[in-house]
Structure 1
């Protein structure tokens, strides 16, 4: 590569994408479009159901509606651009657009980490300190936990975005991913990325570790308390209030750990790249689709509220 090319400042990026096959791109377009639209309907429906049902006006469902709103934002930070790139001839994004996409993808993922930890704390208080629940989980405290999750997530993302886009990108403008992933961008930089690597290790790593640890500690106390309940029916009822959240946490953090901490594939870098992209689709689009389904299938109160709304709609239709 000539010196002139290596010193050219890149002002836009081009996504390599998942495949170059036009037929497969069209199929993926319709699949992801269907998933994205279903995600919007499910999560908007969950928010509307919680707001319309008086019995669901509790801290647990306040957090759940916050999670649904977050999942809408999270999938929207990725899906629209991915859909455009599946059918566009030029799969490009401006430098500013790339920075914004990276900022929102990191911030929303971080916010969900903190929010899931706050939901674990809510379940801990509900089961281990039921008499103090109205005080410890007052509307003011719940609002503080949600707002705090957003503040921490936005600040966390701001640090990575600022230090990433202060770099010079001159090796290539082709991002070997479906979106502006931080690791893919760092591989394109001709600047020293030592500080960025430190930030990923000492900032991003602790965010994941501390939120997972807080969830684990909460559930250790919850399980200890459940074991002490004398009746089997009481134990089952106490644990049933946690299964949906525990399932969501396992899927969400499991996807993060597999995506970022799994060993290098023995099938070569090409297979590794494809698997990274597939996992990214699962992490950013499929998980927001699954979350409301998990809470609906496993939660009797949500199913009862949904049945009540359906009965009211049916009654209005036959009048």
Structure 2
């Protein structure tokens, strides 16, 4: 079985990343098959509960108020609207609902109280609930946990050295502090990055090193391919070659063997065979549904057809929690 480590060097990770591609995929696939139910894929659905008008300057994001994009500002959704979206996602095969708000940080106000109500309501549908709301304090993380939140997403995006080129309105330490607060509240951590920002291979390796050397590996690691949006500073970035995505997924799978690795944004540009390579290399989660916040994404029916072709099946909700309870009762 693959060893769980938190002391990986950049040199070790780089050696894995630069392995000849076929050998890399084989190694990652072998490790992936050591885990139970390697043919299962966790399906998440992502909705934007508050869209646009964000004060941050993330160079890739169409929701930043300072950029002129086609994204229209929408106020916070109502709880019943979120529950309706969650039910539809569940019927489509999703076991997790992720709710995103275009905020710099969580503020203790009526909007946050409404998010807590959303978490409680979706949790009652027997779905894992995830939020991505920007930075949050330890107290706010605990409030979310008390409401029934399962996971919190806060991506590192890129390496610490490259970060200032992409975002100037917050620091890398701000990101890490939020992950620390999430852990303190005993929430599941969802944190990964974006490939195709104009970063170097060394930046990708450095980001993976930061994730793998956290005190506990993130339970979920989204690997996003940049979707360039007109009006943002990164609108002219070229599409990410599929081999780069495969290398990132395979490397993440090898060094974080127990984590869920999510093939996230950018799937609309990938063929069936492209995605099959990513699953073979260790991806075992996707976002399903027509949109990822504001960018296009394959629909549920399309994904179910792909699952049928590849012999994959959706993973049930709360599987790790249920497995732990079964073990305790034996």
Query: TM-score, length-normalised on structure 2?
Result: 0.23
- The TM-score with structure 1 as length reference comes to 0.23
Higher strand share: 2
Name the structure where helix makes up a greater proportion of residues. 1
